[in-house]
Chains A and B, each alone.
Chain A
């Protein structure tokens, strides 16, 4: 009996071991619908400091070069325009004065037409304005084709840069109809800038600034480098920075622009037509504006077609 038990156990163990010794395999198909909501917030802070050093070596010798630079800086700051403190009745409540009767008109009619060359016009009837027109021009006509070095290239470079800064200014204007029994003010807007039938059919460079407002920066600036050659290198750069911030002046108790009943018109009619060349026009009837037209051009003409003559 004991041997039988041993034999049986041994057989069972042998079968079990035999069964486990074979690799199990199964074909299983699983169908699953998984709804998964996953919110991932990734915050990446990337700081890149890039230093680019470009050394450009152009393996040519120039026979001619032209370089023009034009730089404009305009700043108007810490101004105030308001009622006449000194002349008002000292006993009057300043805040009750709301009738200033200010009428400023800048008008240009049938003007700045049919000119040739460089024209700059500034017209101002306002307060604390900066108005500038600037032209920088460099022209080189290089060696022509009758000498062996004739086709040496030309290098031209132009840069026109301007910065305008308008900060910490204050305007206080008030205008209401006169009370019954008083003489009415002159009709029309308080501050008006108009250009009519003007700045037409000019050839060349024409710049115009017109201002009837307060604390405005107006600029037109051109830098032109011109060469007549068969080949060459032309570089041009224009940069314009304008800052208008913090229109506030606490010294007089008023802030920024405080206007009521004020009419302003800036109009341009039948103007700026038929011109050839480069031009910039700024027109302002408001307050604390930065206005600029900046132009930089370097051009090389291979056939003398720019009107400067054939070398």
Chain B
């Protein structure tokens, strides 16, 4: 009996140790539907530092800065049946140099032309050098030209000065108001004008109300003659135009009866055969409307090797 039990135990042990195995081939067709929603929030902050070294010491420099600020606020125009006509005809033609024109028969208009030029020329050989007690010029060195033109126009708002306790100027709204009925015409006309000019030309024409108009040119030129050196030219132009909280109420008058004549508001800005064949810099603003900011802003800096004008 003891032997049989031992044999049984041994058999069970063998049964536990050995496992069954099978080769199975499975063929399956699986249809799969998958819906994926992905929400990505990506914030990228990129900083690029570029360090450039210009290894020159300018011996000549030209720097020009032009700043124009125009502000138009808190005005009211009630010009019923106030017909107006601005006309430039056969004018501002074939001029040389700098020409600036403002024309306005409207109300509360700011019109400006500003020109700033820094011209660092080369001393001609025939011109004597500076006296001994003056710092000598440095012909042969490199040049530097910097030009900035800043033009700011505000209509219906202004910068209030800081309070007595200090602080920064505060932008304050003070609207303009136009309240008008029945204009048979209000026309701004430029005909056969501003042609064939050479140089810098700025023209503003406004027959409307509360318009800001400006033309600005800032020019810095450094001429280096025969020095053959290089130089640095920097130019910056900034134009800010703000138009806030203005109201234009223009229409027919209320009809008094069925036979009352209805006129309405009739305005035109017309430019014909003009602003052609010019050489140089030309800025033209023409307005027959209300509360417009119009600006032409040019900034240019030149460093010219070989120039001797």
Do A and B interact?
Answer: yes
225-243 of chain B: CB within 8 A of chain A: 228-243
Stretch at the interface among A129-137, A259-267, A274-282, A295-303: A129-137
A46-B38 in contact (CB<8A): yes
A182-B261 in contact (CB<8A): yes
Chain A hits for B44, CB < 8 A: 48, 50-52
A24 within 8 A of B: yes
B304 within 8 A of A: yes
Could you tell me the distance between the alpha carbons of A22 and B155 in the complex, rounded to whole angstroms?
Answer: 102
Chain A hits for B235, CB < 8 A: 66-69, 136-138, 225
Given contacts A27-B22, A125-B288, A178-B262, are A20 and B15 in contact (CB under 8 A)?
A: yes
B52-A58 in contact (CB<8A): yes
B28 within 8 A of A: yes
A305 within 8 A of B: no
10-39 of chain B: CB within 8 A of chain A: 10-12, 14-15, 18-39
* 11 cross-chain CB contacts under 8 A: A26-B20, A39-B33, A42-B36, A49-B45, A67-B233, A69-B236, A84-B253, A92-B254, A110-B272, A112-B276, A115-B276
A289 within 8 A of B: no
A129-B264 in contact (CB<8A): no
Could you tell me the distance between the alpha carbons of A64 and B232 in the complex, rounded to whole angstroms?
Answer: 5
Closest to A166 in B: B243
B13 to chain A, nearest CB (A): 9
B163 within 8 A of A: no
Number of A-B contacts (CB under 8 A): 544
5 smallest beta-carbon distances between A and B, as pairs:
A101-B264, A17-B11, A64-B230, A120-B296, A142-B230
A67-B53 in contact (CB<8A): no
Given contacts A17-B8, A62-B53, A150-B228, are A105 and B43 in contact (CB under 8 A)?
A: no
A65-B54 in contact (CB<8A): yes
B251-A108 in contact (CB<8A): no
100-141 of chain A: CB within 8 A of chain B: 100-141
A100-B53 in contact (CB<8A): no
Could you tell me the distance between the alpha carbons of A12 and B53 in the complex, rounded to whole angstroms?
Answer: 101
Chain A hits for B151, CB < 8 A: 132, 134
The A interface is mostly helix, strand or loop, or mixed, namely strand
Per-position contact with A for B70-111: 1 when CB-CB < 8 Å, else 0?
000000001010000000000000000000000000000000
A43 to chain B, nearest CB (A): 5
B279 within 8 A of A: yes
B230-A143 in contact (CB<8A): yes
B218 to chain A, nearest CB (A): 10
B289-A101 in contact (CB<8A): no
A53 within 8 A of B: yes
Closest to B294 in A: A122
Stretch at the interface among B59-67, B114-122, B129-137, B173-181: B173-181
B127 within 8 A of A: no
Chain A hits for B231, CB < 8 A: 64, 140, 142
B142-A136 in contact (CB<8A): no
B292-A30 in contact (CB<8A): no
Residue of A9, A70, A215, A225 with highest tally of chain B CB at under 10 A: A70
A160 to chain B, nearest CB (A): 9
A181 to chain B, nearest CB (A): 5
Chain A hits for B279, CB < 8 A: 115-117
A76 to chain B, nearest CB (A): 4
B222 to chain A, nearest CB (A): 9
24-62 of chain A: CB within 8 A of chain B: 24-58, 61-62
Chain A hits for B38, CB < 8 A: 42-44, 46
B7 within 8 A of A: yes
- Cross-chain contact of A75 among B241, B249, B288 (Cβ < 8 A): B241
A282 to chain B, nearest CB (A): 12
Closest to A106 in B: B269
B262-A183 in contact (CB<8A): yes
A129-B289 in contact (CB<8A): yes
255-278 of chain B: CB within 8 A of chain A: 255, 258-278
Given contacts A16-B11, A40-B36, A137-B299, are A125 and B268 in contact (CB under 8 A)?
A: yes
Could you tell me the distance between the alpha carbons of A225 and B26 in the complex, rounded to whole angstroms?
Answer: 71
A186 within 8 A of B: yes
A311-B275 in contact (CB<8A): no
Closest to B177 in A: A86
Could you tell me the distance between the alpha carbons of A137 and B145 in the complex, rounded to whole angstroms?
Answer: 11
Closest to A226 in B: B233
Could you tell me the distance between the alpha carbons of A292 and B270 in the complex, rounded to whole angstroms?
Answer: 23
